[in-house]
Amino acid sequence: MHVVVDGKGPPVVLYGGLGGNWFDWDGVAAQLSRDHRVVRIDRPGYGLSPTSNEPPTVQGEAQRIRAVLAQLAITEPAIVVGHSLGGIYAEAFARLYPRQTSAVLLLDATVPKRRRLLVPTRWRVETGRRIAHAASLAGLQHALGPGVYRLLNHSKPPDGIPPPMQAWIDRVVREPAYLEASIVENASYPELVHQLLDLREGTMLTAPVVVAAADSASRTPWGWVWIRTQQRFAEALGADFRVVRPAKHHAMIDQPDQIAALVRGLSG
């Protein structure tokens, strides 16, 4: 796996959402690494991590976090930050490994709801792999990847996207592994939700949890509904609720200082 480690102090794991890469957390890591040991992990196919033939699972990703911490000889309980879909994995880690979790921050996280699986996950995954392979062979991903990335991610660092970060974006999103990993993880999403909800039935969250919602401050009906949904999500988990504003979905890019402050608040 591609893992980036910065700083010294209490450990913090930053786990991205669908299509998330290590550089999305650059601003947060720069702040936290002054007094924390910050660990950024690229899941298979994202960032500089090689792809995997196996679709993601909730337990598998929790085990991945645990294995990385073990490889880094980190024995102190860690704060685990999960963004969007990564919130599923962060919560799973906290439930499966409570002694290794000091706190959890769920940043604009997916709110799991059980739905009927109309199409088997293995069919969805296989279809997704074929689509990704065809797009790569046709050159569509190489040509359109950066533009699609900009359509899906509207967040920008406070001082604009620095050239090194832009260079990594342009490189990573053109990789066939990146497209395949994104499609496969999206295709696996309904099953991941069911796995987490099943896990909730037999486990408890013992670590402090903060649910933080991104608010663009545009006062749209959708924005109000999302904030209320996140607030109810926090209530269901017995978590504290915070709002990050003004921020789009990738709030760690828009407001790295606010996210770093939330993490420091969990450090005690």
pLDDT at 141: 83
User: Is 14 in a helix, a strand, or coil?
Assistant: strand
Q: Which amino acid is at 170?
A: D
pLDDT at 31: 97
Each residue's pLDDT, cut to its tens digit, for the chain (268 residues) gives: 999 999 999 999 999 999 999 999 999 999 999 999 999 999 999 999 999 988 999 999 999 999 999 999 999 999 999 999 999 999 999 999 999 999 999 999 999 888 877 788 889 999 999 998 998 888 888 888 888 888 778 889 999 999 999 999 999 999 889 999 999 999 999 999 999 999 999 999 999 999 999 998 887 788 889 999 999 999 999 999 999 999 999 999 999 999 999 999 998 7
Tokens 């999206």 belong to which residue? 186
Whether residue 237 lies inside any domain: the answer is yes
Whether residue 169 lies inside any domain: the answer is no
**Structural domain harbouring 216:** 2-117+189-267
pLDDT at 169: 92
Whether residue 77 lies inside any domain: the answer is yes
Whether residue 218 lies inside any domain: the answer is yes
Q: What is the pLDDT of residues 219-233, one digit of tens each?
A: 778 888 999 999 999
Whether residue 158 lies inside any domain: the answer is no
Which DSSP string do the residues of 15-73 spell out, in sequence order?
E--TT--GGGGHHHHHHHTTTSEEEEEEPTTSTTPPP-SSPP-HHHHHHHHHHHHHHTT
pLDDT at 264: 96
pLDDT at 37: 98
Q: At 193, which CATH number?
A: 3.40.50.1820
In degrees and rounded to multiples of 5, residue 244 shows phi and psi of -105, 120
pLDDT at 113: 87
Dist. CA 108–CA 86, nearest whole Å:
10
Tokens 């990573």 belong to which residue? 172
